[in-house]
Structure 1
Amino acid sequence: MDESSMPSPSVTAPGPPTPPVPLAALLAREELGLRRIAGPADADLLWVHTSEMADPYPYLLGGELLLSAGVLLTDPDRYVARLVEAGAAALGFGVRPVHESVPEALVEACDRHGLPLLEVPPETPFTTIARAVWRLMAEARHRELRRVTRAQQALATAAARPDPVPAVLHQLAAHLDGRALLLTATGEELHTAGRGPSPETAAALVRLAGLVTRDRPGAPASATDTDAAGGTHLSAYALGGGEGLALALATGRREPGDHTVAGIAVVLLSLLTAPHQGADAADRSAALVRLLLGAPPAEVAPLLDGTGAGPKTGDTPRPVVHARREEGTRWTVVHARRTDGTRADPLTAGALGASLGSPLVDAGQEGGAVRVLLPGAVREPGGAVREPQGAVGEPGKAVREPQGAVRETGNAVRETPALAPHPGWTLGASSPTPLSDLAAADLRAARALAHAEATRTPLTVDSPVTGLAALIPPEQAAAHARALLAPLTRPLADTLRCWLSLHGSWDRTAVALAVHRNTVRQRIRRCGELLGMDLDDMDVRAELWFALRRE
């Protein structure tokens, strides 16, 4: 098996190369009157050249249909041998006025050397043949451009889906009529699409992908091969994410535009799988790991605020945006689940995080939920920025700014993009919260997601405590809530909270909690018994809702 390096698809021309014209297509033009009288029936014509030289070898590039009337033809065998050596695709021999018919020695030489020989009748000018070839080439290029354009549109649409990586691979396999795989440097299949190749071909793809992975010094951007047993065309392309990933393709044929289509897919997959680089992103990832491992929030606050641990001696300080140190940056926790019930893989979860504007993504939650941590003030749809409490302005007040602006009054407020529904996902988000209350925000985001699923809405955001409830000191409100709800177990309290948030709907509560509606009835009845309250009384419901919101 022969392996060869090819140019990176990211630097190739935007359009596919001009497809060759099959010899059969030219012979099918009846008005030309061409007839194949020797040599193989299959050949690909790249251009047309006319020459009456005894040896046109120095002037041929390969792939030509050479047209000649045999003015200086003296040694047919050597003449044909030199044409084959130069890479000519076929020979068109015009009869009359030099030769009354095609010389028999030329016919025999073309059969012997495997060069297609066409008889050109006297009434067909060579220029007419050249014009027909150019027209066929233009038609073929137009068809190939349309095919590549359709593939590009399909790949771009797939990249916008909730599961972009498998969707892109599926479209790529469909348009190339083959198999598309996303492989690691060790040959592990992350995603596959299309019909499965034979074990031998699969092993060859893994080896080829290993040649191009970017974790190997000097690795090429792409490589191609041909399976010796089945004639399957194999290709591998390194993705630009720096993670040692490769796109591998196995196709039964190779069209001129296939490399262009694959190049488009490589660009999209590189963007979709690219890790978030840079010191700030590394600091945040390290902070998230430390938080999950139980480190005190105050210990990792500098990392999450983007200020780092402070510049060392001799270091050049990085420009940062500081929030109030005593309050810190507010954070929004987002819980998300696929609407079709399938579990999101890490790449799909990472794509969701990227669309939300954060690299802090946790896809390993029980039940298939994905958690995303968004730093900064949350801009509401329409350009409203909800400032952190303690920043300039009234607590929790929405300040209208131009879309995408950052508030710069006294203490800067970093802003995250407005939350919006994402097709294919159901989202639940907490309100912006201090770093020290991340655990509570995580719980509120989970409740918001359950509420969104129960009400079949794509996005539910937990609203902060406002109005009359905000007038009561938080410590007193929390103490009252703990005392009032002390008789309830955690499952009962969660059921009561969900039931009240859904206005007493048994069915919606059952959907949100993934239990039977009779289970909800039994739990709510038990809550009333333990609390000694009439849960049909609106005053009782209001007091319980206040307590459940402040516990």
Structure 2
Amino acid sequence: MADAPDTLAAAPPTPPVPLTALLAHEELGLRQIAGPDAARTGAVVHWVHTSEMADPYPYLLGGELLLTAGVHVPAADADSVADRLDAYAARIVAAGGAALGFGVAPVHDTVPEALVDACERHGLPLLEVPPRTTFSGVARAVWQLMAEARHAELRRVTQAQQGLAAAASRPDPVPALLRQLAARLSGYAALYGADGTPAQSAGTPPEPGAGAALGRLVGVVNPGGGAASDEGRGTGVGGSAARGQAERAPRPAPASATDTAAGTHLAAYALAGAHGLALGVATRQREPGDHTLAGVAAVLLSLLTAPHQGAAESARSAALVRLLLGAAPEDVAPLLGPGRWTVVHARVRGGDHERTPATPASLAAALGSVLADDGRGVDGGGAADPRGVARDESADGGGREAGSSREAGSSKEAESRTTGAGTPRPVRLLLPADREPAPQAGWTLGVSAPAGAEALPAADAQAARALRRAEATRVPFVRHRETGLAGLVAPAEADAHARTLLAPLGDGGPLPETLRTWLSLHGSWDRTAAALSVHRNTVRQRVTRCATLLDVDLDDPDVRMELWFALGRTGGAG
């Protein structure tokens, strides 16, 4: 087995548990008896592992609370035990273990003094696990604390998103948004101009060294900025990533980048379509949801800093920002105006992205040539972006960065926009209804019927169904048909289904016509007989014969509905 890495390999997708929280868990009764004070060092636990190996190093990933009952502790002279336990503690520290829990009983009545000395010497927190506490109970407590921390973080992110939404709808949205973001992150947020210097900022500015590093990081995501010189990109902790950008030019710049300098966590986000603007963030601590919040702020700033907006455009942008963050359509309808809109759902066709730069930005640009200056982009939640830049549809409710799309992303971005099963995520566009979307190479499109702002959710559902029909029938473009229930199924599919379902009745003959008449008269034997000018018993015999041939229960309303639909497709209903 390969050696464990020197650093934490891959943190789990849940927040770590502070060691102090575990020690404060009264039911466990854990007690720290050696090592640095957990409250002072801020030690955390990422997971729990139980092992009785004399050398657990090869089996640790880093960040574990290692639990042992001391089965491996030799019953030999004191010097030998001390040497072996000293090596044992050293190996746990080398593997990145967060702490060691020693279970008292049944092997040892007390924690060996040599182990206490070894942990103290190597700076490894040592916890005494009382006999009443099982190792599985310790593990369960860690998972529960992780779940509680995760829920608290989700609440924090949700509340912060609401605060960002409120800031974005204020009369001075950009400075208000920066202030809100800086307050939520307990740090510094700045909007960098095309020259690579902060145009507006909020919060406590970082130390000079960290501020310079943040400027260089902004140059990584915004190579056209004045601070993005080749020399500047090759310095700092993130210098290797920055140097790669310079050495492999003209490789596309990333949408976001992170770094650490002078004990400060740094992040930079390019703003989509905002002509060289970028968001820079600096915090002393990095929480799990910080990247999500900064990503949402970057999207909102992209909307708010769209160039050349007149009064009408600004009002529309404000409306679409509110839609993006969950406002009811009727609340923003006055800002959108009396115009009607068409929703388009699009998905990259399998394999086409290898030949076509099928990125959301390229799709928006292609449709923009048709939509002139009126194109609008809709995100996965049914809301819109005023520059026609599509975003991905995410099921995590804001957990994914709704980040900027760029021409430079090319096929790599298309490949990354997939679900766990490998299916490309759909993107959405909101287009003025007077402009006709056309099929696009590399994409499958579903188009809604025109709708006013108050009916956008219904139009969004129509576009989703149209996209599903397009993919099912393997055609590049399907428009929603306003034809009731039958419009939910493609005509070719409906006809094929009807022929297959009614085939046992044969072509022509009295059976299909009798069944159609009987269904149209709600199963009335006498009225059907009168309509067909036959005896009542003849109707019963024919309908019974239909049920037998079709192997169905005609008393089932679902069966009757399906048969009526099929008879209508074959000309037997009307």
Q: TM-score by structure 2 length? A: 0.44
Q: TM-score by structure 1 length? A: 0.46
